[in-house]
Amino acid sequence: MRLNAAMAGMVRRAASLVGMLALLAGPALAGDRAQIDLIGYSADGSYFAFEEFGIQDGSGFAYSSIYVVDLVEDSWVVGTPFRLQADEERTTLSDIRAAARARAADNIATLGIEVPGELIAMIGDGAADADGKTLRFGAPGFEPGAIIGSYTLTLTQFDTVSSTPCAEWFDAVPQGYSLSISDENGERVVHQDTSLPRSRGCPVEYRLFGVVQPFADQPLSQALGIISVYSFGFEGPDRRFMVVPLGL
């Protein structure tokens, strides 16, 4: 009996060692790549709402954040965004997303955000050979492949300063960005960072994601650029989103 007990102990220890080695040999998590869902515009084009959602790196908990943007002031509406995160893995992403939508429902209804957003151009996450720094687009026509107008977004990034102590926490210089748009009439700057708000954390990379406009809108007067922002996270870069009015 004592021999069997000793052997059982050895088996348990061996199994534990094998499990640890398997974990070490397995692929490491590499961050948190949020996804985006377009909620829409207000009827007068003054407000836009979108959701970013995903699974948090480190904890593995689902989250959803709903942003409501004042496009005239180019800022978040007071009292937003609505952020919700699960506190256990059993809470599903669909549950968290539904709860976040319910929390934001009154605000969205009050602002009359009911016009669908139309994604008219995009650089997909799996698009090969795309550097995410330029994107050509125009207004979609009704004939297959028809595009009205020709615009080019150009994104550049540079060292800047942040209210977050990036150098102390990550030994890195935070990155800011500039966004410009060009057409046959020339080029103009849409946005230029001077310093970073604390809400942006410590960005290391910016990439163009897409262009959105109100559904069936002509011309592109309410078009927005969507930018992916990659910042330092718990296990790697975390992707979040920003929208920038293009002023077309």
What is the reported pTM?
0.84
Residue 180 is encoded by which pair of tokens?
A: 């410009």
Q: How far is it, in rounded angstroms, from Cα 161 to Cα 171?
A: 13
Q: How far is it, in rounded angstroms, from Cα 215 to Cα 223?
A: 10
Q: How far is it, in rounded angstroms, from Cα 87 to Cα 59?
A: 9
Tens-digit pLDDT string for the chain (248 aa):
344 444 444 334 333 333 333 333 334 445 799 999 999 999 999 999 999 999 998 889 999 999 999 999 999 999 999 999 999 999 999 999 999 999 999 999 999 999 999 999 999 999 999 999 999 999 998 888 889 999 999 999 999 998 889 989 888 899 999 999 999 999 999 999 998 988 898 999 999 999 999 998 777 999 999 999 999 877 778 999 999 999 87
If residue 101 lies in a helix (H) or strand (E), which one and from where to where?
helix 93-110
By DSSP bridging, strand 117-122 and strand 113-115 are: unpaired
Listed by start position, the domains of the chain span: 28-115, 117-248
By DSSP bridging, strand 35-42 and strand 113-115 are: antiparallel
